[in-house]
Structure formats: C-alpha cells, structure tokens
Amino acid sequence: MIRVAIVGAAGRMGRMLVTGVMLDPELALSGALEYSGCPLLGQDAGVVAGQSAAGVRITDKIEDFIANTDAVIDFSSQASTMELAPRLAAAGVNIAIGTTGLTDGDKAALRSLTAAGAKIVQAPNMSIGVNLLFALCAKVAPLLGEDYDIEVVEMHHNKKKDAPSGTAERLGEILAKARGLDYGHDTRHGRVGMVGARSKGEIGMHALRGGDVVGDHTVIFAAEGERVELTHKASSRETFAKGALRAVKFLATAKAGLYDMQDVLGLKDF
Ligand SMILES: NC(=O)c1ccc[n+]([C@@H]2O[C@H](COP(=O)([O-])OP(=O)(O)OC[C@H]3O[C@@H](n4cnc5c(N)ncnc54)[C@H](O)[C@@H]3O)[C@@H](O)[C@H]2O)c1
Ligand SMILES: O=C(O)C1=N[C@H](C(=O)O)CCC1
C-alpha cells in the first residue's frame, strides 16, 4: 500500500486526486494540504471531494502527515510547489508534480534535489493522450520539415492562471528542438500590430481562455496547399488524475531521479 498525500486538496485537481486515491486499492490517503487561511481547513478531504469521509482532515502543516506518507501529489501553485519540494525531499517522500508555471530555474532546483536522492515526476500534463502527442510531434516535425510553419493553439477554462499552458510550453520546446530552434527566443506569443510576414524560424503560440474547457491543444503544421493538425482534447480532469496515480506507483520502485510522464508511460523510445 502506498500512502499518498495531496497538495492543493481542495482545488479542481485536488478533489479529483483525493477521489482517485480513495478509490484505488493500491493507495491510501494519508494527508491533504491547503494554504493557511483556507476556509476548508479541518474539513474531511473525502467529503470536500464529494466522497464518503476519508478520515483525513485538510491541514496547512505537512508535519501533520509527512511521517506517515510515502508520496505526495502536488497540483497547487508554482510558489507552493517550489517551497514544499525541498522539505518533502529531505523527509524522503516521493513527489509527483503536476503544477504548471514552473521556470527553468525551478526545474533545475528540482533536479538538484534528485542529485541528493529525491525521486520526482514533474509533468505539465499527465494524460496518456497528451504524452502521445508529445512523442508524435517529436517525430512529425522533422519529417515535415521547414516548409511547414508550426503554430500551437491551446484553450482552457476561464479560471486558469498561467499562459500559455504548461502543456503548450512543452509542445513548443519539443517542436523547437526538432527544428533546431530555441524555444525562449524563437516563440511568437500571439501576434498584434504590423509584425510583418511570418519567418521560417518561428513557432507561433496562442492561448485561448473561456468557459469550462478542461484542456485543448492543437499543433498546426501549415504549408503551401495543405496543413496537418494534431489535436488533443481533454473532456475530464480524471485523465490527469489517473496519470498522477500512475506516477506515484512508478516512483515507488524507481531510482533517485527527475522523471516525466514519458518515463512513467514508457514512451521514451516511441
Ligand atoms: N499536470 C497536469 O496534468 C495538470 C492538469 C491540470 C492542472 N494542472 C495544473 O495544476 C495546478 C492546479 O490546477 P487546478 O485547476 O486544480 O487549480 P485550483 O486553483 O483549482 O487548485 C489549486 C489548489 O492549490 C491550493 N494551494 C495554493 N497554495 C497552496 C499552498 N501553499 N499549500 C497548499 N495548497 C495550496 C489552492 O488553494 C487550490 O485549492 C495548476 O498549475 C494547473 O495548471 C496540471
Ligand atoms: O486546468 C489547467 O490548469 C490545466 N493545466 C495544464 C497545463 O497548463 O498544461 C494541463 C491541462 C489543464
């Protein structure tokens, strides 16, 4: 049995993760963390998630559960994730991070924790379909070549705080690498004004927000006379939660290291 605590337990993903852990016979819910001042502190995490009582109260202190926890799943905020990760790693707790908006510096800091023995999965999207899309883009972009202009379009619900989505950023990084471009330098985020004709050496990135959209990502390869579009649409957050549960099971037998969902799903050699 893997004892799992959820960070951001009252959030959209947190409630889905609490439910997923409670329903999984290989996992046991050991803790549920929220920010200090959260009105739901002290409430039963299962009840908050719309399930039966889990016997785990939402707390703002990791000390309430860390000694009885094997793994933490963190879908909260960049600041919270980066503050907690060193403390969890120091306690020998495995960490599955779904939080987006992490900087390159944040990812380097996570890697340095794994050099000291931590086991971490960090992935901007834990669905099987999106991770297959990552692998497909790495193959398709070099095959189509420079004649095909690449644009990435994502759409999410109107509560999402970061843009572009972590998934779109990862798509951009994969596509840039496949084209010999630099994601940070060569990405055009939206276009406005007299920007001139599109150059070959750029990737367009467009973030749409509205309603309750769970998460749509499309990569467009556009050439003279045709275009190819690869699209993934998530219709339920359950797909992300299922991936996170796979991640903690993967970490239970993994060596120290910083992993992504390509490792968890065995897509590295696809
Ligand atoms: N990797 C994936 O597959 C995936 C999928 C969906 C969402 N996400 C990401 O997960 C994050 C959360 O998304 P969401 O839609 O659930 O957002 P949300 O705002 O509904 O939930 C975030 C929760 O974290 C809590 N939180 C904030 N600071 C905290 C702290 N210091 N300690 C403990 N809890 C704290 C908030 O109170 C909130 O309940 C975002 O970064 C989002 O982009 C990733
Ligand atoms: O709802 C969100 O927020 C999502 N965030 C992830 C991202 O930024 O890529 C994954 C999809 C849902």
pLDDT tens, position by position, 152-187: 999 999 999 999 999 999 999 999 999 999 999 999
* Whole-angstrom distance, CA of residue 251 vs CA of residue 224: 46
Residue ranges for the known binding site for NAD(+) are 8-13, 98-100, 123-126
Q: What is the per-residue burial (b if ≥16 Cβ within 10 Å, else e) of 69-94? A: bbbbbbbbbeebbbebbeebbeeebb
CATH 3.40.50.720 boundaries in the chain: 2-122+237-265
| pLDDT beneath 50, residues of the chain | none
Residue 254's alpha-carbon distances to 58, 114, 198, 258, 260, in angstroms, are 29, 12, 45, 10, 12
Ligand 1 atom with the shortest distance to the CA of 166: 43
Whose atoms come closest to the Cα of 264: which ligand?
Answer: 1
Which of the listed residues 156, 161, 169, 260 should we mutate to test ligand 2's pocket, taking the one with most ligand atoms within 8 A of CB? 156
* Whole-angstrom distance, CA of residue 191 vs CA of residue 11: 33
Here the tokens at position 48 are 């908050």
Q: What is the DSSP string of 5-25?
A: EEETTTSHHHHHHHHHHHH-T
Question: What would be the CATH architecture of the domain defined by 2-122+237-265?
Answer: 3-Layer(aba) Sandwich (3.40)
**Of the candidates 30, 107, 22, 21, the residue with the CA atom closest to the CA atom of residue 66:** 30
pLDDT recorded at residue 234: 98
Here the tokens at position 133 are 């899309």
* Whole-angstrom distance, CA of residue 32 vs CA of residue 10: 8
Of 119, 156, 206, 249, which residue is the catalytic one?
Answer: 156
Which of the listed residues 17, 159, 167 should we mutate to test ligand 2's pocket, taking the one with most ligand atoms within 8 A of CB? 167
Ligand 2 atom with the shortest distance to the CA of 165: 8
Contacts of 237 (CB under 8 A, 6+ apart): 12, 13, 16, 214
Q: What is the pTM of this model?
A: 0.97
* Whole-angstrom distance, CA of residue 255 vs CA of residue 114: 10
pLDDT recorded at residue 269: 74
With respect to CATH, is domain 128-234 assigned 3.40.50.150? no
What's the complex ipTM?
A: 0.99
**DSSP annotation of 61:** -
160 given a catalytic annotation:
yes
Residue ranges for the known binding site are 8-13, 98-100, 123-126, 157, 166-167
CATH 3.30.360.10 boundaries in the chain: 128-234
Q: What share of the chain is helix, strand, coil (3-state, %, to 5)?
A: 40, 25, 35
